[in-house]
Structure 1
Amino acid sequence: MSRHKREPGTLPRPLALLGALLLATATAVAIRMLPAGAASPSRPPAARPPATPAPLPAQADEPPAAFVGFVGFVDLTRQPAFDLPAESRRTGVRRYALGHLVAGGDGCTPRWSGAAGPRTSPMAGRIARLRAMGGDAAPVLGGPEGRELAATCTRPGGLSAAYRRVVGAFDAAEIVFEVRDSADRAAVLRRARAIQAVQRERRLRVSFTLPLRHDGLTPGDVAMLRATRQAGAEVAIVNLLAPIEPRTARGARLGRVATAVRAAGAQIARAQGLAEPGHAWPRIALTPVLAGRADLSELDARKLAAYATHHGLAWLSLRGVTPDPDVSRILWRTSSYR
């Protein structure tokens, strides 16, 4: 959106820049409070009361927010100095997911997986500048290189306090859980109750990232989604990690992905208590996972972008090996295919 003409009700540019500077300072202080080591968690920051009550799971058929196009994934363990504002200006991508936060210390202390920690990450000010540009970034909890807090934090009230610390440190409107513990029913229920507690205090959009098989989701993941809803937590989006077969594979590779997504959509609709399977489409995000640079062609990228926009998916993302630049540019412009 052009900023040369100020619309009625908007702040003058000097005040907007001052607000962005203050947000950067506050976010930097908050992230420094999120320890990278084994220190016991301090008292969580007070939750901000929402202007209106947070939506409850009973409103199951209400669609989530509108399609946002492409969401970039940033592995801060491997790229702790990733420049969000610069990358956003280069690519046009405005939304990012930042991974991964896992359990550390006493099991209730969030930390970055791997060697990099929030104290060494320069991300605080960069998130603030991204937001000043109209973008946003959401932290990702769990993932492949550590245990999600729900699996380790069994102290009463400890898990909800840990989630509050993450939300407060990033001033996050959204958090993403990359769930790998669906078979652990105790962890599933702890996570659901902790999410519900935070959602009752403030508006918080929650997404779950789950692996996609050829026949949809695993039975365990479907049961986990159902149990989470029944425990009172609202999961707005289910992000499907879809492995992409190499281009040497026979038959319609992307057709098989589409079949798997459709199967997962029916499972998600049942687990989320939706009236019709078609109501699940805006609650699904699709993240192709590449094993090789050449596994996705420009034509493949156009098909994926058109598929996401045609079905009104929540977003499209990418994991694994980085494809050719021309392929990436097509995916970055996903929203233009609508």
Structure 2
Amino acid sequence: MSASRRSRPSGTLPRPLTFLAAAALTTATATAVSLLPAQAGLHRAAPVPAPSSPRAVPGSPPAASPSQPGPSGPGPSGPGPSGFVTFVDTAADPGFDLPADARRTGVRWYALGHLSPASDGCAQRWAGRLAFGHDPVANRVGRLRALGGDAGLVFGGPAGEAAATCTRPDALTAAYRRAVGAFDAAYVEFELSDPGDRATVLRRARAIGALQRERPLRAGFTLPLRADGLTARDAEMLRLTREAGADIATVNVLARIEPQAAPEGRLRRLALALRAARVQVARAYGLASADEAWPRLALTCVPAGPADLSAADARALLAFAARHRLAWLSLRGAEPDPEAARILRG
């Protein structure tokens, strides 16, 4: 799930174009899409409805479990076709105005990070230090919801995740419960650079499962994507988490975007990595077909520089997401070309 607002361009629809411009766009899109393997594709997130009670969340598979609200991802029912989720690093960007950004960009779903353990190893704090009421970004969630949007909570990140430091299961569950309750969150995500040992994985899974039995709550993981998909430890963590009783609806992969100067086939290599991840997710979830895992995958693009993600790249990624019905798209890292960001926002 890291840079602040750069995680996601908004979802406004492009204004009507002239016939010639539309033809040019169609040609450019077809060319970009041709760079991707025929079997690759990102999912379109569902249209963004105003939150109801209970609120849905972006990015979950079409058939959600009866005990959970709509799609998974930070927000009510989730982005729609080519849906977009904006990640905000609340400690790094305290001036970020959620409702103002939603009005400006059309984005409705936000992921707020990172909630990490305080000095006692259990209590959740923004960046491990700011209490819930002292984070100006998170304090604007109510105004965002009034506009029909929503925000999910991202645990973990650079400062670590509480399951590794809070070794008393009841205390860990209580720490998650306080954070979820403080924001009436419908979606939580766990961003992990290291899944932890077996005991850590099971503590986290059982705490998530306990909360899901108490309230409608969608949950997901943010994990790094490598050339061959997820790491073996991350794939094993997903399996153990499912077997421990937690319903993990979405796996959001952080994918580095190779620079334009990289050898030919940058997007093809990304598509192959996503295809490998979807096989691993299908196995971890016990799905009958690897293709059933596509709607459980979300893609967060991480360009290193502004030129790494062009408008043509964005169109190809958007088409890939729509074809394979990925849960949602997002951005982190360097701010890309404004037109590329606009395209990804849908």
Smaller-chain TM-score range? 0.7 to 0.9
Deviations 1:243-293 (A, max 9, x none): 111000011111110000011001000001111111101100001111111
State whether structure 2 residue 264 is matched by structure 1 residue 246: no
Counterparts of 1:1-338 in structure 2, within 5 Å, are 54=67, 67-68=79-80, 69-113=83-127, 116-144=130-158, 146-333=159-346
2:334 corresponds to which letter in structure 1?
Answer: V
Deviations 1:222-247 (A, max 9, x none): 00000000100010000011011100
Contact 1:103 1:149 in 2 (8 A): yes
User: Offset of 1:330 from its aligned partner?
Assistant: 1.1
User: Offset of 1:112 from its aligned partner?
Assistant: 1.1
Deviations 1:129-158 (A, max 9, x none): 1111111100100012x1201001112400
Aligned-residue Cα RMSD (Å) equals 2.2
| Counterpart residue number, 1:26 | none
* Distance in 1 separating the partners of 2:136 and 2:331: 23
Residues 251 and 94 of structure 1: is their aligned pair in 2 closer, same or farther, counting only changes over 3 Å?
same
Residues 66 and 96 of structure 1: is their aligned pair in 2 closer, same or farther, counting only changes over 3 Å?
closer
| Secondary structure, aligned partner of 1:313 | coil
User: Offset of 1:67 from its aligned partner?
Assistant: 5.0
| Secondary structure, aligned partner of 2:107 | coil
| Counterpart residue number, 1:59 | none
Contact 1:80 1:116 in 2 (8 A): no
1:277 corresponds to which letter in structure 2?
Answer: A
Contact 2:79 2:85 in 1 (8 A): no
More moved, 232-241 vs 64-73: 64-73
Contact 1:199 1:233 in 2 (8 A): yes
| Secondary structure, aligned partner of 1:54 | coil
* Distance in 2 separating the partners of 1:158 and 1:115: 18
* Distance in 1 separating the partners of 2:253 and 2:237: 15
1:94 corresponds to which letter in structure 2?
Answer: R
Larger radius of gyration: 1
Contact 1:76 1:116 in 2 (8 A): no
Residues 298 and 130 of structure 1: is their aligned pair in 2 closer, same or farther, counting only changes over 3 Å?
same
User: Offset of 1:102 from its aligned partner?
Assistant: 0.5
Q: How many residues align?
A: 278
Deviations 1:60-115 (A, max 9, x none): xx986665300001111111121001001111111010111101121111011166
2:201 corresponds to which letter in structure 1?
Answer: V
- TM-score norm. by structure 2 comes to 0.76
* Distance in 1 separating the partners of 2:179 and 2:104: 28
User: Offset of 1:54 from its aligned partner?
Assistant: 2.5
Deviations 1:171-219 (A, max 9, x none): 1000010022324211101000000110111110001000000010100
| Secondary structure, aligned partner of 1:210 | strand
In structure 1, the gaps of 5 or more residues are: 1-15, 20-51, 56-61, 334-338
Contact 1:181 1:188 in 2 (8 A): no
Contact 1:63 1:282 in 2 (8 A): no
* Distance in 2 separating the partners of 1:290 and 1:223: 28
User: Offset of 1:119 from its aligned partner?
Assistant: 3.4
Contact 1:222 1:271 in 2 (8 A): yes
Identity %: 61
In structure 2, the gaps of 5 or more residues are: 1-49, 53-64
